[in-house]
Amino acid sequence: MALSKKIGLILGPLAFFAVLFFPVTLLSTKGDAVIAVALWMVIWWIFEAVSISVSALLPLILFPLLNVMPIDDVGANYGSKIIFLFFGGFVLALALEKVNLHKRIALNIIKITGTTPNKVVLGFMIATASLSMWISNTASTVVMLPIAVSVIKLLQHDEDGFTKSDKNFALSVMLGIAFSANAGGIATIIGTPPNSVLIGLLEKQYHIEISFLKWMTIGLPISILLLIIIYFVLVKWMFPNKQLEFSASKEIIAQELHKLGAINKREKMVLTIFGITVFLWIFRTLINSIFPNLGLSDTVISMIAAISLFAVPYNLKKGDFILQWQDTEKLAWGILILFGGGLALANGMATTGIVNKVAEIISTSNLPILFTVSLLLFLVLFMTELMSNVALITIVAPIVAGIAIGLEIPMLYVLIPVTIASSCAFMLPMATPPNAIVFASGFIKISEMAKVGVLLNLISVGLLILMYQFIMPLFF
């Protein structure tokens, strides 16, 4: 075990007991208990002493023991309807991956965009972002990486060797895949875990519901704008490949599609269920207005999709279904537990008055509102380079909600940009799984990722400040 992990493992419980037995009451008996638990969780999350999902289970043990809330109330957070919304989303992603439909979609997008160098980069970016809207950014990156490596290896072994333009192309493709995986997840509620943490917090604590379509109307344009910015920064500014020409990438895409063969019945079934699910998510409000007693929700739609994938037979005689329960071994169960732990922590912070205290402190400060919001966005965006964006939003979102209340501004104006900021991690390999995956390919140095990442981070901060100031008031 790394030294940092050993330090974190010991430091977490030490900090917990230090706050718990501090001679002076900081807030209240229950409030101090929540602060102590939060501190333990944060330290374990930052140092990655144990799995972040294991850390998320601490409230389930400590809140009842410390008389913060009964175990039934704590456990309810781990079984929230938002958890089942994402369970359904994860099952849907599992089916797409099992039948290789995600790879077919990606290859066809690249084929459509063209095979000149810059168009190849654009194709990889669009394909990765499109996948990342529906499946995990890790999975979308893993799908794209071997295809990208095949294209790059053609350049390494051509007549002129691996030239400066070749290297720039390789950097553009690799960084384009990682960054578009991060940006693509912003577009939908199920695209990236921080989005779900926020939705859960809003529904549980403030009874504010943001529908799948409502989020897409905000998230999709921001995602597309980020993709455009990333593309031009990579291929026009940082790593231009003006003299590069090749056509072999077209052959590689054709070969990969040939390996997949014609679309089969199983893929068609998954595609049909996927299409119906997305349709219902988008038009849920309209359907409910036509059938007022139906009570269709995003969670219900998600669970219909999940159960359908297990229950609709591919071959009735053989009892063959698209998914079997053993397929769920690959499901991100830990992320679901993490959502529950985040909701439990947020609930504890709200019920013990911590959020109100933060709101009170901020409201009595004389800092301009725009400066405070800009500082929050800057801090979250650069903090996400060093720790899990899910863990970060779990900690920060309730505090930001309190700050918004203290500043007397609609909390969604700040919470949504702050949540999006947590997905804009472009600077370091350890910031997100896509960054780490492409870095491990060997085509990128940390200094090269950091050089582009700092620039994109700063641009993202500016974009999110503009979003807070001008876009959010149009929607809420």
Residues 397-413: tens digit of each pLDDT: 888 988 888 888 999 99
Cα torsion at 409, 374, 190, 219 (round to 10°)? 80
Predicted confidence band at 154 (pLDDT cuts at 50, 70, 90)? low
Residue indicated by tokens 């900090």: 15
In this prediction, residue 251 carries a pLDDT of 74
- What is the share, in percent, of the chain residues with pLDDT greater than 70? 93
Spell out a b/e string for 74-109, using b for 16 or more CB atoms within 10 Å of the CB, else e. bebbbebebbbbbbbbbbbbbbbbbbbbbbbbbbeb
User: Is the pLDDT at 87 greater than 90, yes or no?
Assistant: no
Tens of pLDDT along 49-77? 888 789 889 999 999 999 999 999 999 98
User: Is the pLDDT at 396 greater than 60, yes or no?
Assistant: yes
- β-sheet bridge partners, residue 313: 321
Q: How far apart are CA 121 and CA 173, in angstroms?
A: 5
Tell me, letter by letter, the H, E, C secondary structure of 119-131: HHHHHHHHHHHHH
Q: Can you say whether the dihedral through the CA atoms of 324, 327, 331, 337 is positive or negative?
A: positive
Predicted confidence band at 363 (pLDDT cuts at 50, 70, 90)? low
Tens of pLDDT along 161-216? 557 777 888 899 999 999 999 999 999 988 888 998 899 889 888 889 898 889 99
Is-contact 207 160, C-beta < 8 A?
Answer: no
User: Is the pLDDT at 253 greater than 80, yes or no?
Assistant: no
Kindly list the distances between the CA atom of residue 291 and the CA atoms of 277, 279, 287, 295, 296, in Å, as whole numbers in the listed order: 18, 16, 6, 8, 9
Kindly list the domain boundaries of the chain, sorted by start residue: 82-330
Q: What is the mean pLDDT of the chain?
A: 85
Question: How far from each other are the two terminal CA atoms of the chain, in whole angstroms?
Answer: 47
The better pLDDT of the pair 274, 359 is held by: 274
3 state DSSP class of 424: coil
Q: How far apart are CA 27 and CA 357, in angstroms?
A: 9
Element (H, E) at 7: helix 3-20
In this prediction, residue 157 carries a pLDDT of 57
Q: How far apart are CA 9 and CA 7, in angstroms?
A: 5
CA-only gyration radius of the chain, Å: 23
Minimum mean pLDDT range among 21-30, 383-392, 460-469: 383-392
Q: Is 234 exposed, middle or buried (0-12, 13-18, 19+ CB in 10 A)?
A: buried
In this prediction, residue 98 carries a pLDDT of 87
Which residues touch 251 (CB under 8 Å, ≥6 apart)?
A: none
Q: CB count, 10 Å around CB of 164?
A: 12
User: Is the pLDDT at 250 greater than 90, yes or no?
Assistant: no
In this prediction, residue 94 carries a pLDDT of 86
